[in-house]
Amino acid sequence: MTAGKLDLLKKLWLAPMAEVTDAPFRIISKKFGAGLTFTQMVSAKGVVENEFETLQYLAFSRNEKPIGVQILANNPQTLAHSVSEIRKYSPDVIDLNCGCPVNKVTRCQMGATILDNPKLLGDLVKSMKDVSLGTPISIKMRLGKNKSNISIIENAQIAQKNGADFIIVHARTKEDRYSVEADWNWFSEIKKNIDIPLIGNGSIFSAKDAYNMITETGCDGAMVARGALGNPFIFQRFNELLETGKDPGEPNPLQIKDAAIEHLNLLSREYGEIRAIHRAKKFIIWYFRNNNGISSLIENMIKINDINALKNYIEEHTNKIINDFYPEEDLNEIENSFKKRVLFWLQENKIAATG
């Protein structure tokens, strides 16, 4: 199934994430087999006003394609203007965010609050489609305001009626934020009520999760967010599972080390060594969080301020994992903490958070 020239059928996509889906993260995700990546979410107003930071988020290279751009807006005229500008970059998808539940977005009547205003939603979709000139338009939504106000069927139909080429549905409500399991049961209901493709999102933390979402719910594709943090392997594993029926399994420490160092090198090339070190540390923690020694890594790595020293430490840490140097840690507790808060090591109860 396609939208324009975009092949949607049974692919695993990387969701847009603030302060995460920069070029290095997108490049390494694509290397491991991501079907589509997204830039960080950009403000339509920022695009129209040529704000430097917004344009930085929007930039991507040709070798990153296929790639999508997600916009945040609540004014049809501003949105249409921004789509016309973004088209000049030749993205493969332009998506409107109608799902973000965070306060700094919703208090501006954007993101998930748009789901409470069906007329506005329709006007926004139409304004995008009218100027898209063939670039596929998608809308990312949640199920509704809360469990007592599920509006996804109506909103999905409005998106379709006004020209959306496909929709992306995060199977939680605005009120749920990220605190409960996504309700995948809604996907089959949505599919019964629309004719355009549906990409499912929510509670994907493994290749098997993505596989099950597609094969069991009728979704045309799946989108992963937090489950890809420190885990570009999820795309490769999903592709192999889909092709052969077998999951190749968790990466070994050497594979994790190689990916982490490659990611660090990409960050250094993109930002320079000083900024790269600051950005890299959270990614490195995510890469190694499922291995004993994560508490030691968090404690020791924070002190490192030289990129070569950081690479040497990653090598040393990996060798210690291989040689069973570290004591056993409660990795399940760490993973549960990660699912609640991706920067789990910054919680007040650091000991509990890191096992």
- In this structure, are 154 and 268 located in the same domain? no
Least confident range of 42-46, 159-163, 311-315, 343-347? 343-347
- In this structure, are 38 and 177 located in the same domain? yes
Evaluate if residue 10 carries a pLDDT over 90.
Answer: no
C-alpha Rg value of the chain to the nearest Å: 20
Mean pLDDT of 136-153: 96
Res 349: pLDDT: 36
C-alpha span between 168 and 352 (Å, rounded): 35
- In this structure, are 84 and 198 located in the same domain? yes
- In this structure, are 231 and 340 located in the same domain? no
Q: Which CATH number does the domain housing residue 224 bear?
A: 3.20.20.70
Mean pLDDT of 14-25: 95
Evaluate if residue 179 carries a pLDDT over 80.
Answer: no
Evaluate if residue 224 carries a pLDDT over 60.
Answer: yes
Mean pLDDT of 204-215: 97
Evaluate if residue 249 carries a pLDDT over 70.
Answer: yes
Evaluate if residue 1 carries a pLDDT over 80.
Answer: no
- In this structure, are 281 and 151 located in the same domain? no
Percent of the chain with pLDDT over 70: 96
Mean pLDDT of 95-107: 94
Q: Which residue among 212, 244, 276 closes a domain?
A: 244
- In this structure, are 63 and 199 located in the same domain? yes
First to last CA, the chain: 44
Evaluate if residue 354 carries a pLDDT over 60.
Answer: no
Q: Which residue among 196, 226, 244 closes a domain?
A: 244
Residue partners of 191: CB distance under 8 A and separation at least 6: 198, 217, 218, 219
Res 121: pLDDT: 98
- In this structure, are 226 and 293 located in the same domain? no
The total of structural domains in the chain comes to 2
Evaluate if residue 353 carries a pLDDT over 70.
Answer: no
- In this structure, are 234 and 287 located in the same domain? no
Range of the domain at 331: 253-354
C-alpha pair distances (Å), 34 with each of 31, 46, 221, 236, 239:
7, 28, 12, 8, 9
Evaluate if residue 103 carries a pLDDT over 80.
Answer: yes
Task: Provide DSSP, 32-77.
Answer: TT-SBEEPPPEEHHHHHTT-HHHHHHH---GGG-SEEEEEE-S-HH
Q: Tell me the two tokens of residue 17.
A: 């994430």
Average model confidence (pLDDT) across the chain? 94
- In this structure, are 195 and 58 located in the same domain? yes
From 48, 31, 10, 54, select the one nearest 223 (Cα to Cα).
10
Evaluate if residue 123 carries a pLDDT over 70.
Answer: yes
Mean pLDDT of 198-217: 97
Percent of the chain with pLDDT over 90: 91
Evaluate if residue 219 carries a pLDDT over 70.
Answer: yes
- In this structure, are 336 and 208 located in the same domain? no
The type of residue at 274 is: I
C-alpha span between 284 and 262 (Å, rounded): 11
Q: Is the pTM of this model over 0.75?
A: yes
pLDDT confidence tier of residue 5, bands split at 50, 70 and 90 = low
Query: How confident is the model over 326-347, as pLDDT tens digits?
Result: 999 999 999 999 998 999 998 5
Evaluate if residue 352 carries a pLDDT over 80.
Answer: no
Evaluate if residue 29 carries a pLDDT over 80.
Answer: yes
Q: Tell me the two tokens of residue 280.
A: 């890299």
From 145, 197, 148, 196, select the one nearest 172 (Cα to Cα).
145
Pairing state between β 37-38 and 12-14: unpaired
- In this structure, are 100 and 225 located in the same domain? yes
What are residue 9's phi and psi, to 5 degrees? Answer: -70, 115
Q: Which residue among 219, 244, 269 closes a domain?
A: 244
CB 293 within 8 A of CB 321: yes
- In this structure, are 178 and 231 located in the same domain? yes
